[in-house]
Amino acid sequence: MRKIVLDTETTGLEHSLGHRIIEIGCVELVGRKLTGNNYHQYIQPDRESDEGALEVHGITSEFLQDKPRFADIVQDFLNYIRGAELIIHNAPFDVGFLDSELCRADAQLGDISTYCNVIDTLVMARKMRPGQKNNLDALCKHFDVNNTQRELHGALLDAEILAEVYLRMTGGQVHLLLDSEQEASDAGEVIEPRCLSKNRESLSVVRATQSELEAHQAIIDNLGEAGLWPSS
C-alpha cells in the first residue's frame, strides 16, 4: 500500500482554541522506498502563532503573509493523500488539526478518516519501548537516524526523518534489492530470479527448537502492532 508520512506545524497546541495549521509536509513510501513524490505547503492561518509555537518552528506571520489559505489548497492536499495510509507521530494532534481545517473549509469534506487510514508511530514506539522517551528526537537516537539538521521543527524535514524512523521501527530495510540488483534495475535491466542452490534436494532443513520459537514469540509480542511476521 502507498504510505504517506505526514507532519504539520501549527500556531499553537489546541485547534479547539482556534489555532491553525501553517505548514504541511508529506513524503511518500511505496514498497518501503522513498519515491521523492513529496507534498509541502505553507499556509496563511489568519492569526498569530503563540510565542511557544514560534520558538519551536520559527515560521513568522510575515513569512506566511502571502501564502495560500487552507481552503485554497485543500483539494490538492486531499488528492495527494487519498487512499494512502498516513503515518504520523502522535497522530491525534495532527489529525485533530486537519479535521478542524477540513470542517472550516467545507463541512461536507468529512474528516481525514474519510480518505485515509492512520498509523500512529508514537503508539508503536510506546509498545516497543515502554516507560522511555519516545519523541522523535529520542527515536532518532535509538534507531541511529541522523537528525543533526533539525535545529527548528519543520513539517517536511520532520516527515523525512519520521519516514526513516518508521522504516527502522518496522524492520530497518529500506531497499529490498541488493545493491548490484538495484543498479541493474535502475538501468532498466531485467532481474533474473536468483537460485541459492541448483540441487535443492541436498539442502538440509534445520527447524527451530521449542525454546527458540518461544523466544521469537516473546520478541513479536513486545513489538505489538510493529510486528510484521507473527509466528502463528
Q: What is the pLDDT of residues 96-141, one digit of tens each?
A: 999 999 999 999 999 999 999 999 999 999 999 999 999 999 999 9
Q: CB under 8 Å, gap of 24 or more: what pairs does 64-69 form?
A: 64/22, 67/42, 67/43, 68/41, 68/43, 68/44, 69/43, 69/44
Residue 195 is predicted with a pLDDT of: 41
pLDDT in tens, 44-74: 999 999 999 998 898 999 999 999 999 999 9
Active site annotation includes 153: yes
Which CATH number is associated with domain 3-169? 3.30.420.10
pLDDT band of 176, cuts 50, 70, 90: very low
Q: Residues 108-141, buried b or exposed e (16+ Cβ, 10 A)?
A: ebeebeebbeebbbbbbbebbeeeeebebeebbe
For the full predicted model, state whether its pTM sits above 0.75.
no
Residue spans per domain, the chain: 3-169
Residue 215 is predicted with a pLDDT of: 67
The catalytic position among 15, 57, 153, 216 is 153
Give the residue-averaged pLDDT of 142-167. Answer: 86
pLDDT in tens, 23-47: 999 999 999 999 999 999 999 999 9
pLDDT band of 207, cuts 50, 70, 90: low
